[in-house]
Structure 1
Amino acid sequence: MVTVPRQFNGPEHSGNGGYVSGMLAVEVGAGCVTATLRQPPPLDTPLTWEHDGNEVRLVTAGGGVIGEATPGTFTRDPVPCPTVDEAEAAAARFQGHEVHPYPRCFTCGTDRTEGDGFRLFAGPTGDGRTATPWTPDPSFGDLDVPLTWAALDCPGAWTIDLSERVLLLGRMTGEVLRPPAAHEPLLSTGRFDGEDGRKVYASTALYTREGELLGRAEQTWIAVTA
């Protein structure tokens, strides 16, 4: 049995998409993994793992599939590392300070406090990318894989105007090259990669201040009714 702890929500009553995708990635194993979310992950609810060859599924007691994952492959180049100055300027423009669809999101929620949420506020750089400097609160310790995937989550959603559309993570292909160390100063960035109907495509990356790539992701977001 496994649960998604309530601390790791995205929307108020369901799991953070990046965190849950990272849980799936751990079950698949090392390397690049593609995780697909089929329904909102419930919080503090017993769930079960199912393994079928290279595929892993997270299922409810009734057999409903919350998400599934397999080994994955990247199709785009990583988002380039921003400079510290670029990231600081972008963070000052974070849209979520004015309007936020999920103000208690574990990753980017403005209503979360230090040590309770990541408070990762990636703002626009002006060229279809987002960026922010970010140092995880020391209470999180060395970030494990689900926490690192959570950090790679929301900077992709904020590459569009979320005052006009609300997005939920549908699919995430990611890889952690090196888990961030406790309280390590980082640079987070995202990039808008296009859209097709209700689908929005984005990429994200997490770097050290010296430019070492720690993790990256490619995402498909689904626009939903606010």
Structure 2
Amino acid sequence: MTTLSIAARFNGPPASAHGGYTAGLVGTAIDGPAEVTLLAPPPLETAMELVAGDGGTVVLRAGERDVASGRPTTVDVGAPPAAAVAEIRAAMPSREVLRTSHPFPTCFGCGPDRDDGDGLCLFAGEIDPAARVWGVTWTPDGDGAVDPVLVWAALDCPSSAPAQDPTGERPIVLGRFAVDLLAEVPAGGAEHRILSAPLRHEGRKRTNAVWLLDAGDAVLAAGRATWIELKPDDAAARRGDGR
């Protein structure tokens, strides 16, 4: 059993932790590709326990409440679509555009109100409207290899892009995330590409594929993310604005 707490800077919605970061804490405790299900809004600045179970499973628990569960899995989302860095850059929206519609503007992964270095600031843009392919570039700071938990976090918000409501009125939150870390991700100025595309849509659930590629087109990580459209009352509560 491991005790941990998620710092306030790693928020998604204002009062809860970033889904991808939380999933990364659980998923990286599992050997190999892992699937993490978020069972409740992950609390911030709260002592939690990461408890190992049978068959390689892991549960993240806050008091008597299970926050997330993880298990070994396989991630088969096929090959990523082709997209050049220049094409992706041209599609990425500005902070000013996002501020008019973003449901969670202080999100660690994609919030336009976060500064570079404080948040990941991954603003995905639509590259291919016909195929609904989205992408963003990512140049992680630091030396050596990126912390695998941050790789999970970086894949999270771009994976939501094909399922987002452009008006921001029907926000979505991460429900389940499966990631296969295929290679170390180098930091220190290396520009990577994160691409996403839809897999299926069932009611309020939308499942998308996401890939992380290096400059030479090697796939460093692949994922499968299920996003859930919030009901109006839940959306207002998660935004924290009462709208």
The answer to whether TM tops 0.5 is yes
Q: How does 1:23-62 map to 2 (within 5 A)?
A: 23-29=25-31, 31-53=32-54, 54-61=56-63
- TM-score for the superposition, normalised by structure 2: 0.86
For the structure 1 residues 161 and 216, does the alpha-carbon distance in structure 2 shift closer, same or farther, using more than 3 Å as the test? Answer: same
**Does 1:202 find its partner at 2:208?**
yes
TM-score (norm 1): 0.92
Q: Give me the whole-angstrom Cα distance separating, in 2, the residues matched to 1:45 and 1:170.
A: 21
The C-alpha deviation readout for 1:24-58, integer Å capped at 9, x for no partner, is 112112x2101000001000100011111111000
Contact 1:81 1:187 in 2 (8 A): no
d(CA) in 2 for partners of 1:181 and 1:74?
22
- The residue that corresponds to 2:182 in the other structure is 177
CA contact (8 A) 2:51 2:59 kept: yes
**Corresponding residue for residue 162 of structure 2:** 159
Q: Map 1:30-179 to 2 at 5 A.
A: 31-53=32-54, 54-61=56-63, 63-92=64-93, 96-125=98-127, 126=129, 127-138=131-142, 142-162=145-165, 163=167, 164-179=169-184
74-83 or 149-158: which moved more? 74-83
Identity within the alignment, %: 32
The structure-2 alpha-carbon separation of the partners of 1:182 and 1:82, relative to structure 1 and needing over 3 Å to count, comes to same
Q: Which amino acid aligns with 1:128?
A: R
Deviation of residue 161 (structure 1)? 3.7
Offset at residue 219 of structure 1 (A): 0.8
Separation in structure 2 between the aligned mates of residue 49 and residue 109 of structure 1, nearest angstrom: 28
Quote the offset at 1:75 in angstroms: 3.9
Q: CA deviation at 1:192?
A: 1.6
Tell me the equivalent position of 1:221: 227
Shift of 1:89: 1.9
Q: Equivalents in 1 of 2:89, 2:51: separation in Å?
A: 43
- Secondary structure in structure 2 of the residue aligned to 1:152: helix
Task: Please list the CA deviations of residues 68-122 of structure 1 after superposition, one character each: whole Å capped at 9, or x if unmatched.
Answer: 0010112431432421122112214786354101111111111111110011111
Could you tell me whether the CA contact under 8 Å between 2:212 and 2:222 is conserved in 1? yes
Q: Call closer, same or farther: CA 1:24–1:81 in 2, change over 3 Å.
A: farther
Q: Runs of 4+ in structure 1 displaced over 4 angstroms?
A: none
Q: 1 CA distance for matches of 2:183 and 2:112?
A: 27
Q: How many residues align?
A: 223
* Kept after mapping to 2: 8 A contact 1:114/1:137: no
For 2:92 and 2:144, how far apart are their aligned partners in 1?
A: 24
User: Which amino acid is 1:216 matched to?
Assistant: A
CA distance in 1, matches of 2:83, 2:193: 7
Residue 23 of structure 1 aligns to a residue in which SS? helix
Structure 2: segments with no counterpart, 5+ residues: 236-243
Code of the aligned partner of 1:115: G
Which structure 1 residue ranges, 5 or more long, are not aligned?
none
Verify the 8 A CA contact 2:77 2:222 in the aligned structure 1. Answer: no
Instruction: Please tell me the residue identity of whatever aligns with 1:169.
Output: L
**Distance (whole Å) between structure 2 residues aligned to residue 178 and residue 116 of structure 1:** 25
Between 1:64-73 and 1:48-57, the stretch displaced more is 48-57
Tell me the distance in 2 between the aligned counterparts of 1:33 and 1:157: 19
C-alpha distance in 1 between matches for 2:6 and 2:171 = 22
